[in-house]
């Protein structure tokens, strides 16, 4: 066994207690520690001048103490320790709170290094709560700042990484072939790992980071290529035959397909007619008309004598799809059924039988569709709606019900294209980037809670005009707030609008109750529906034209956009009111984006930019392990380059079996098995 794979407890200073804490940080082996990269750095390489006080960052200063430290006592127990300083050009003062014990160190004439953010206060430059820096650390370059857990300090981690680097970094082996490192000017791995922890300057840092990001993204991209070729490229699928009845059906629709819909449909039909198995993602903003594309694909499969299944993440959605599909297919003689968890046992058994003997053409449902009892006579096409809610494993189980059925997944979560290539690397992508004509845009307003009275008036007006209203409250999972906050708001509306019908909907209700509530809203019996985000996806109530969203800053922008898409689905002018009491600049900017745009792709890009990818989406949710150093939002420039390189070399790796890629191949396989673990969890 290489020393790198040995437990971290072999490192000096790591006893049982620290071992447990390190494990908690995901550090089990020496190699894990070497790859535990800093999240930021302290820069003690540059000494700043007090006169540059407008520079609002933590800086390092070399100052001489002019007057000895003076302690004063304020408000009860608080102490303030102050002393005058100079950097030779400008004078200022140090201010410490509750650190009077430092007084003996602050004697007149002493020269010290301190790190602090400068402040200009009462005509003086103040360094408040400065950190006194040991002279040894000055000029030692950038010092790592690590992600910590309670019980372990940054200094301890520095000690551990330092000794791990000194003792073991030379054992790291190159994964990339030497031609590649030469061609792309990549630093050696040992250099990169050493210097990502302790870079002597910005340049060394940049060189090291590039090397590590390059490798990480390359491995990720190759893994995704492999998934993709394993899944569909080479697997044979059904060859569906042209059928003119499909065109007749399209002609008979009450509307004309948009260009984008036609394009997507075409791409799907080409896949279905080819002998390769289809694995396609259909991406389209809320309301862009994905459902009809699903309908047409399924009709095409049925015309070819095959059965289809369509899986949605919630019963609500499955039902809704069932209703609209039944409507679309009502004159075709197709047998369309619904199968969900709450379907009575007897009916389920009946459906199982009819499915098996081929009497059912199209089945729509939830996870109930991947249960053991479900078997088909000849399944030809599967559709997964809102695929990010399902793991790869569930999608596979749905497909395993047939013999290589074609597979279409749909999502209304717009993702910038480069990212989609990473996240959905195993799928081909079609995008509907155009809304059907004559869609009224939704007017969006941002207010704070002090507008409640005005909002109430607005709510009454809509209801008196015969419309319905959504009120949405965020899910705050940590302390089980969702129920409480939704309930509080529900109570407010119930009491405020005694003569209207107000109902509450949340995820923890019994399925039956949820269904009844939603049905009552769909049929117009409920005026105001107060809910958590269970209504987020796909729900279609054209008569609802107003949505109020509380604590709007708690949501991702893409999610807000999805929610907002629940209104504006009918002929009525629709409104979305975002209620935000968060006064931070970033919250303000995010709300502005919602006010000014209704383009899901633009909103997604802004969200990514303003919040970073970690918040934008859990990559884990998409079956991809957390990245150690690459950042899918800010390292976009590398992505394109790496996507090109990957497609160039994957042939050399997997078809020609060129041995110079052996190590890289191992890394790719290790990542793939990690992905699988996540997918099955």
Taking the least distance from each CB to Mg ion, the nearer of 63 and 408 is 408
237 contacts Mg ion (rule: CB under 5 A):
yes
| Nearest Cα to Cα of residue 529 among 480, 563, 558 | 563
Which residue from 126, 195, 291, 532 is in contact with ligand ADP, where contact means CB under 6 A? 291
Q: Which stretch binds ligand ADP (CB under 6 A): 233-241, 263-271, 289-297, 368-376?
A: 289-297
x/- mask, Mg ion, residues 239-278, rule CB under 5 A, reads ---------------------------------x------
Tokens representing 488? Answer: 């509080």
Window 405 to 464, contacts with ligand ADP (CB under 6 A) = 412, 436
414 contacts Mg ion (rule: CB under 5 A):
no
**Residue 445 · residue 578 · CB < 8 Å:** yes
Taking the least distance from each CB to Mg ion, the nearer of 103 and 273 is 273
Cβ-based neighbours of 428, under 8 Å, separated by 6 or more: 267, 271, 278, 279, 280, 281
For the CB of residue 265, give the shortest distance to ligand ADP in the complex, in Å: 11
Cβ-based neighbours of 164, under 8 Å, separated by 6 or more: 11, 30, 33, 34
Residue 437 vs residues 208, 260, 286, 565: alpha-carbon distances, Å: 51, 12, 14, 16
Taking the least distance from each CB to ligand ADP, the nearer of 100 and 263 is 263
Cβ-based neighbours of 456, under 8 Å, separated by 6 or more: 496, 497
Helices (H), 391-547: 392-399, 417-423, 452-464, 481-496, 511-522
Residue whose tokens read 């993602």: 281
SS (H, E, C) 463-487: HHCCCEEEEECCCCCCCCHHHHHHH
Which residue from 290, 564, 590, 606 is in contact with ligand ADP, where contact means CB under 6 A? 290
Which residue from 92, 130, 141, 287 is in contact with ligand ADP, where contact means CB under 6 A? 287
For the CB of residue 514, give the shortest distance to ligand ADP in the complex, in Å: 21
DSSP per residue over 298-364, as a string? HHHHHHTT-EEEEE-SSHHHHHHHHHHHHHHTTTTT--EEEE-TTS-HHHHHHHHHHHHTT--SEEE
Which residue from 126, 161, 261, 430 is in contact with ligand ADP, where contact means CB under 6 A? 261
Taking the least distance from each CB to ligand ADP, the nearer of 290 and 506 is 290
Window 515 to 554, contacts with ligand ADP (CB under 6 A) = 540
Taking the least distance from each CB to ligand ADP, the nearer of 289 and 474 is 289
Q: Which stretch binds Mg ion (CB under 5 A): 233-241, 379-387, 562-570, 596-604?
A: 233-241
Distance CA 387, CA 403 (A): 21
Between vectors from CA 47 to CA 41 and to CA 51, what angle results, nearest 5°?
Answer: 120
Query: What residue is closest to ligand ADP based on CB?
Result: 289
250 contacts ligand ADP (rule: CB under 6 A):
no
Cβ-based neighbours of 665, under 8 Å, separated by 6 or more: 653
Residue 206 vs residues 187, 209, 612, 637: alpha-carbon distances, Å: 10, 5, 20, 14
Window 15 to 74, contacts with ligand ADP (CB under 6 A) = none
Which residue from 95, 286, 363, 594 is in contact with ligand ADP, where contact means CB under 6 A? 286
561 contacts ligand ADP (rule: CB under 6 A):
no
For the CB of residue 552, give the shortest distance to ligand ADP in the complex, in Å: 21
258 contacts ligand ADP (rule: CB under 6 A):
yes
405 contacts Mg ion (rule: CB under 5 A):
no
257 contacts ligand ADP (rule: CB under 6 A):
yes
Window 136 to 175, contacts with ligand ADP (CB under 6 A) = none
Taking the least distance from each CB to Mg ion, the nearer of 300 and 661 is 300
**H/E stretch holding 168:** helix 154-168
Taking the least distance from each CB to Mg ion, the nearer of 272 and 312 is 272
Which residues sit at the interface with Mg ion, rule CB under 5 A?
237, 272
Which residues sit at the interface with ligand ADP, rule CB under 6 A?
255-258, 261, 284, 286-292, 412, 436, 540
């Amino acid at each position: 066994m290489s020393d790198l794979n040995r437990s971290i407890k072999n490192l000096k200073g790591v006893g049982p207690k620290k071992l447990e804490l390190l494990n908690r940080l995901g550090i089990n082996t020496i190699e894990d520690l070497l790859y535990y990269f800093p999240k930021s750095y302290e820069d003690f390489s540059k000494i700043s001048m007090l006169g540059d006080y407008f520079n609002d960052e933590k800086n390092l200063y070399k100052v001489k103490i002019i007057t000895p430290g003076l302690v004063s006592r304020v408000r009860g127990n608080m102490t303030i320790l102050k002393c005058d300083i100079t950097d030779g050009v400008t004078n200022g003062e140090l201010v410490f709170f509750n650190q009077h014990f430092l007084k003996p160190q602050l004697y007149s004439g002493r020269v010290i290094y301190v790190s602090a953010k400068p402040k200009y206060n009462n005509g003086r430059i103040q360094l408040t709560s400065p950190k006194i820096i040991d002279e040894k650390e000055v000029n030692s370059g950038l010092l790592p700042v690590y992600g910590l857990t309670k019980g372990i300090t940054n200094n301890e981690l520095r000690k551990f990484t330092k000794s791990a680097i000194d003792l073991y970094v030379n054992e790291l082996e190159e994964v990339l072939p030497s031609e590649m490192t030469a061609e792309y000017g990549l630093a050696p791995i040992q250099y990169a790992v050493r210097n990502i922890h302790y870079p002597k300057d910005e340049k060394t840092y940049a060189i090291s980071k590039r090397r590590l990001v390059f490798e990480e993204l390359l491995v990720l991209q190759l893994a995704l290529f492999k998934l993709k070729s394993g899944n569909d490229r080479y697997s044979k699928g059904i060859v569906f035959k042209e059928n003119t009845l499909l065109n007749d059906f399209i002609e008979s629709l009450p509307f004309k397909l948009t260009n984008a819909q036609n394009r997507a449909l075409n791409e799907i039909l080409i896949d279905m007619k080819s002998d390769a198995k289809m694995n396609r993602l259909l991406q389209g903003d809320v309301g862009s008309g994905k459902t009809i594309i699903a309908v047409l694909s399924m009709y095409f499969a049925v015309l070819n004598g095959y059965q289809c299944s369509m899986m949605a993440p919630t019963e609500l959605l499955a039902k809704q799809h069932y209703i609209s599909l039944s409507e679309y297919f009502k004159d075709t003689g197709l047998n369309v059924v619904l199968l969900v968890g709450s379907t009575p046992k007897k009916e389920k058994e009946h459906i199982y039988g009819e499915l098996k003997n081929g009497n059912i053409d199209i089945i729509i449902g939830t996870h109930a569709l991947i249960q053991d009892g479900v078997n088909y006579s000849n399944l030809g096409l599967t559709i997964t709606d809102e695929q990010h809610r399902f793991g790869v494993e569930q999608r596979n189980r749905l497909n395993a019900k047939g013999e290589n059925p074609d597979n279409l997944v749909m999502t209304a979560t717009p993702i910038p294209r480069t990212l989609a290539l990473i996240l959905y690397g195993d799928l081909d992508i079609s995008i509907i980037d155009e809304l059907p004509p004559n869609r009224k845009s939704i007017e969006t307003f941002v207010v704070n809670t002090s507008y409640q009275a005005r909002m109430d008036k607005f709510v009454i007006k809509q209801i008196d005009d015969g419309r319905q209203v959504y009120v949405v409250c965020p899910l705050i999972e940590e302390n089980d707030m969702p129920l409480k906050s939704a309930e509080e708001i529900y109570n407010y509306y119930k009491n405020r609008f005694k003569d209207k019908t107000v109902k509450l909907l949340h995820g923890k209700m019994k399925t039956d109750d949820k269904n009844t509530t939603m049905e009552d809203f769909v049929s117009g019996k409920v005026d105001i529906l107060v809910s958590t985000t269970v209504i987020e996806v796909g729900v279609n109530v054209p008569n609802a034209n107003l949505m109020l969203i509380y604590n709007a800053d708690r949501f991702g922008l893409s999610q807000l956009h999805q929610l907002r898409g629940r209104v504006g689905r009918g002929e009525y002018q629709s409104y979305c009111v975002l209620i935000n009491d968060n006064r931070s600049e970033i919250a303000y900017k995010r709300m502005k984006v919602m006010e000014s745009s209704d383009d899901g792709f633009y909103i997604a890009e802004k969200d990514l930019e303003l919040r970073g990818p970690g918040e934008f989406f859990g990559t884990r949710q998409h079956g991809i392990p957390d990245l150690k150093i690459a950042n899918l939002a800010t390292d976009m420039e590398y992505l394109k380059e790496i996507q090109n390189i990957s497609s160039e070399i994957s042939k050399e790796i997997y078809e020609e079996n060129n041995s110079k890629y052996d190590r890289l191949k191992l890394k790719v396989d290790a990542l793939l098995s990690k992905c699988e673990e996540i997918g099955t969890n």
